Amino acid sequence: MRRVAICGLSMCKVGNHYNKSLRELFAEVTLDAMESAGNPNIDAIYVGNMSASEHTFQKNMGALLSNSIGLNSTPSMLVECADGSGGAALYEGYKAVASGLHDIVLVGGVEKMSEVTRGENRKIGSMAIEQDYEAFHGLSLDGQFAIIMRYYMHHYGVSKRHFALFAVQMHKHATGNRYAQLPYEISLEDALNMQTIADPVTLFDTAPTGDGAAAVIFCPLERARSFTETPVEIAGAGQASDTLALYDRKNILTFKATTEASKIALESSKLKIPDIDLFEIHDSYTISGFLALEDLGIIERGKVGQAIEEGLIDSNGSFPTNLSGGLKARGHPMGATGVYQAVEATLQLRGEAKKNQVDPAEVALIQNSAGIGSLVTVHVLKRV
Amino acid sequence: MRRVAICGLSMCKVGNHYNKSLRELFAEVTLDAMESAGNPNIDAIYVGNMSASEHTFQKNMGALLSNSIGLNSTPSMLVECADGSGGAALYEGYKAVASGLHDIVLVGGVEKMSEVTRGENRKIGSMAIEQDYEAFHGLSLDGQFAIIMRYYMHHYGVSKRHFALFAVQMHKHATGNRYAQLPYEISLEDALNMQTIADPVTLFDTAPTGDGAAAVIFCPLERARSFTETPVEIAGAGQASDTLALYDRKNILTFKATTEASKIALESSKLKIPDIDLFEIHDSYTISGFLALEDLGIIERGKVGQAIEEGLIDSNGSFPTNLSGGLKARGHPMGATGVYQAVEATLQLRGEAKKNQVDPAEVALIQNSAGIGSLVTVHVLKRV
């Protein structure tokens, strides 16, 4: 297996890009990523996207998007795992280069969510959950996370306040990220008084909907310096799945796919959690962020609120987490999010994260999840 | 890059499986494939499917289907490229093993089309084409192939009769395939007198709609004999894309992605077309089959009808093609078709094709296409 590096990247601000179509968003960002690597020939493209077939009735997205950047012969394929599509696309791109089958691979994530109603977006998001037995009876993705959050609060004796603290922290980080959708602070009071989505999940327990695109270029590590002065290696990659249905879980206070995927990624990178300088985790809901921190082994179970109050995940804490603002404040353009994480972590490792730069920044871990952790992909990135 | 073999396989009859859900179809076939390989531990799953999100509102299909066979931790991912999904899933599975990242990979294709109206199926099939500029104005997938077929007939001075001959040949082959959806002969007269779908495309120029599932197990070649006495190697694999939009094509009488993908696959297998003993090609429409035969370099352009009359693609011809009955008569469960091709070709190479067995059967080439050849995947399979 060859060693693989990121040698180019780009992203756009997450938000309501009413004046840009799906293919325009993708094209702008991927062309920019290719330029950042000196415009190498691209051998293959992997695309992460969740909802183009609902929003624009478009299947065969791979070909649409490769055409949008004038690459009309390059094999281009859509990888779909709901909001874990970005991480899965990264994983496929990594394999393609590691296998030796392709040399230069473009991985792009793109989503347009701004041009349908919020209700429509919730419905599309709920397609990530088990349809025949759960959604059929009226459960939604919001409802699933509400069940988990309620049980977490009951089991650990934890109040809404802890979750609100997480949302506040995410927004604090986002103020230093010019690509974030919501780059402003929120008060704890605001966070505690938002309208209910699915009790106890309130508006500030969920990620906003928005449009976005992000892209990275993979190449063999040995060639990386011909494309960039600051290559970053994919030191490890792992993926695991879990039951799709919530009722099928043995323990709903853990997404074991996160633990399994990170174990694989850390083992292949020969690193442990204390070696990691920064994390980008999948806080599609505040409870999702809590479980990620626990399942990765960063914080003891039930203690996330405390840890946040102690500054553990702050930029100058022991485990800087979601310096981008996370899904809550950077935003969550469903299929693109996993690729945003890769871009943000790489900028940190290159020392280019500006206001949010942490130090040291040698190793990063990014975790992207589908639905209720039905598929989780973890990558460990390392400065070369 | 490691060498990769197929060490297990299964498929079900293509048809209207009203009594089986999507996950049941998938589970039955994949469990059977796993059993055929002696029930090895599966490291990863790739799924080809086009329309589950339209038929059952289900995204995150990877997790649904891995759960259906009790593999609740195994990473499982959906690959979507319209009716090229099966071939693309094979390609991803191949890369996963060739890279060394996974050892035993299950690739399954599954589609349920029988429980919606024919109109709904045509609409879903049309999601494979360019939406914003072509479908928006009323063009459908049927319409695109009608344009190509009409121009072919005009350009080469060829009548409907040649296309009808192809359909007749497909049905002739299908009579020997107990998994085929339509395993009966048709007369040239019938084929010439079918109702029009989109002139000049008539009913017998199109593939039927049906449910189906097929699966193969990949493993490193060096370990194949611990799973099966009859391993078959993936000697070469190639993929290429083309413009999504028909209007963007420079020449509509060729799907150049077929030529490019087969070139890559043949080069890596160090073989040429005359070395190939049998072919499974993507005749989603008779004209699609014609172009495949020409783009692969099997038959000179414009001469497919003649070649069929001369028996060239018959089981005892020089280039036995679609002994399964092809998409026309074996059937075309959209996302599963590419995997059916792999199963059928492998059975031939193992000498297990019964009534349709060709001899020699040492090397096979399978070609799977998305829409109007917007993405084509070609694999060369070789008896070990």
User: Does the bond joining A200 to the residue before it have cis omega, within 30 degrees of 0?
Assistant: yes
A298 touches chain B (CB under 8 A): no
CA pair distance A101, A103, nearest whole angstrom: 7
Distance from CA of B381 to the nearest CA of A (A): 17
Q: Are residues B49 and B67 in the same domain?
A: yes
A143 and A286 belong to one structural domain: yes
Let me know whether A196 and A324 are in one domain.
yes
Residues B77 and B159 placed together within one structural domain of the fold: no
Report chain A's mean pLDDT, rounded to a whole number: 95
d(CA B48, CA B22): 12
Q: Quick one: A157 and A297 in the same domain?
A: yes
Chain A residues near residue B63 by CB distance under 8 angstroms: 81, 241-244, 370-371, 374-375
Angle, nearest 10°, between helix axes B337-349 and B85-98? 60
- Cα-based distances in Å from B187 to A265, A357, B134, B167, B170: 59, 73, 35, 9, 11
Kindly give the residue spans of alpha helices, DSSP state H, lying in chain B: 22-36, 52-55, 61-68, 85-98, 118-125, 141-156, 160-174, 188-192, 256-269, 286-295, 304-309, 326-329, 337-349
- According to the model, what pLDDT value does residue A273 have? 98
Per-residue pLDDT band for A373 (boundaries 50, 70, 90) equals very high
Distance CA B275, CA B378 (A): 15
* B149 and B23 in a common domain: no
CA distance A139 to chain B (A): 13
Residues A243 and A349 in one domain: yes
Say whether residue B361 is in contact with chain A using an 8 A CB cutoff.
Answer: no
> Is the Cα torsion angle A139, A140, A143, A144 positive or negative in sign?
positive
The phi, psi pair for B138, rounded to 5°, reads 105, 0
pLDDT band at A54 (very low <50, low <70, confident <90, very high): confident
Mean pLDDT of the residues in chain B: 95
- pLDDT of B167 reads 98
pLDDT in tens, A75-121: 998 988 899 999 999 999 999 999 888 999 999 999 999 888 878 88
pLDDT band at B158 (very low <50, low <70, confident <90, very high): very high
Question: Is residue A372 less than 8 Å (CB to CB) from chain B?
Answer: no
* Each residue's pLDDT tens digit, B212-260: 999 999 999 999 999 999 999 999 999 999 999 999 999 999 999 999 9
Given this model, what pLDDT does residue B131 score?
Answer: 87
Q: What is the DSSP string of B285-305?
A: BHHHHHHHHHHTTSS-TT-HH
Do B21 and B162 lie in one domain? The reply is no
Which residues, including other chains, have CB under 8 Å from residue B380's CB and lie 6 or more apart?
Answer: B234, B235, B236, B237, B265, B266, B268, B269, B271, B276, B363, B364, B365
8-state DSSP, A356: G
Label the pairing between strands A278-280 and B196-198: unpaired
**Amino acid found at A203:** L
In angstroms, the CA A379 to CA A164 distance is: 28
Model confidence band, residue B149 (pLDDT cutoffs 50, 70, 90): very high
Nearest-CA neighbor of B94 among B282, B362, B368? B368
- Reduced to 3 states, what is the DSSP secondary structure of residue A384? coil
C-beta separation of A36 from A61 below 8 A: no
> How many C-beta atoms surround the C-beta of residue A214 within 10 A?
32
Percentage of chain A surpassing pLDDT 90? 86
Q: What is the ipTM of this complex?
A: 0.86
Q: In this structure, are B217 and B332 located in the same domain?
A: no
Domain that holds residue B101: 4-116+209-232
Residue-wise pLDDT tens digits, A333-362: 999 999 999 999 999 999 999 999 999 999
The number of beta carbons lying within 10 Å of the beta carbon of residue B157 is: 7
Q: Picking from A122-131, B44-53, B269-278, which range would have the lowest pLDDT averaged per residue? A: A122-131
Q: pLDDT value at position B261? A: 97
Q: What is the pTM of this model?
A: 0.92
User: Which residues of chain A lie closer than 8 angstroms to B370, CB-CB?
Assistant: 60, 63
Is the separation of the CB atoms in A207 and A331 below 8 Å? yes
Percent of chain A with pLDDT over 70: 100
At B53-87, the pLDDT tens digits run 887 788 888 888 888 899 988 999 898 889 999 99
Question: How far apart, in Å, are the Cα atoms of A368 and each of A379, B23, B194?
Answer: 9, 25, 51
pLDDT, tens digit, 9 for 90 and up, residues A252-267:
999 999 999 999 999 9
* Nearest beta carbon to residue B77 from set A56, A79, A261: A79
How many whole angstroms separate alpha carbon A287 and alpha carbon B217? 38
Question: Chain B partners of A242 at a C-beta cutoff of 8 Å?
Answer: 63, 72-73
List, in sequence order, every residue forming a beta bridge with B47; answer none if it has no partner: B78, B108
Q: Does A112 touch chain B (CB under 8 A)?
A: no
Place A189 in a pLDDT band, splitting at 50, 70 and 90: very high
Q: Is B63 on the interface with A (CB under 8 A)?
A: yes
- Radius of gyration over every alpha carbon of chain A, rounded to an integer in angstroms: 19
CATH code: domain of residue A14: 3.40.47.10
For residue A62, is pLDDT > 90? no
> How many whole angstroms separate alpha carbon B296 and alpha carbon A334?
39
pLDDT tens column, B301-339:
999 999 999 999 999 999 999 999 999 999 999 999 999
For B94-113, the pLDDT digits (tens) are 999 998 889 999 999 999 99
pLDDT over threshold 80, residue A56: no
Both tokens of A5, joined, read 């590096």
Q: Are residues B224 and B127 in the same domain?
A: no
Same domain for A351 and A286: yes
pLDDT band at A384; cut points 50, 70, 90: very high
Q: Which residues of B87-98 are buried (b: 16+ CB within 10 A; e: fewer)?
A: bbbbbbbbbbbb
Parallel, antiparallel or unpaired: strands A363-370 and A278-280: parallel
CB proximity A103 to B under 8 Å: no
Tell me which chain A residue has its CA closest to the CA of residue B376. Answer: A75
Task: Please give, rounded to a whole number of angstroms, the shortest distance from the CA of B100 to a CA of chain A.
Answer: 6
Q: Does A75 touch chain B (CB under 8 A)?
A: yes
Biggest distance spanned by C-alpha atoms of chain B? 57
Q: What is the tens place of the pLDDT at every residue in B335-367?
A: 999 999 999 999 999 999 999 999 999 999 999
**Which pLDDT belongs to residue B132?**
85
pLDDT the model gives residue B237: 97
Q: Which residues pair with B370 in a beta bridge?
A: B375
SS3 state at A37: coil
Question: SS3 for A361?
Answer: coil
More confident residue, A183 or A127: A183
Q: How many domains does chain A have?
A: 2
Clarify whether residues B122 and B19 are in a common domain: no
Q: Does A85 touch chain B (CB under 8 A)?
A: no
Q: Is A131 exposed, middle or buried (0-12, 13-18, 19+ CB in 10 A)?
A: buried
Residues 6+ apart with CB under 8 A from B196: B202
Chain A window 308-337: which residues touch B at a Cβ cutoff of 8 Å? none
Count other C-beta atoms under 10 Å from residue B43's C-beta. 18
Q: Write out the two tokens for B289.
A: 């089959």
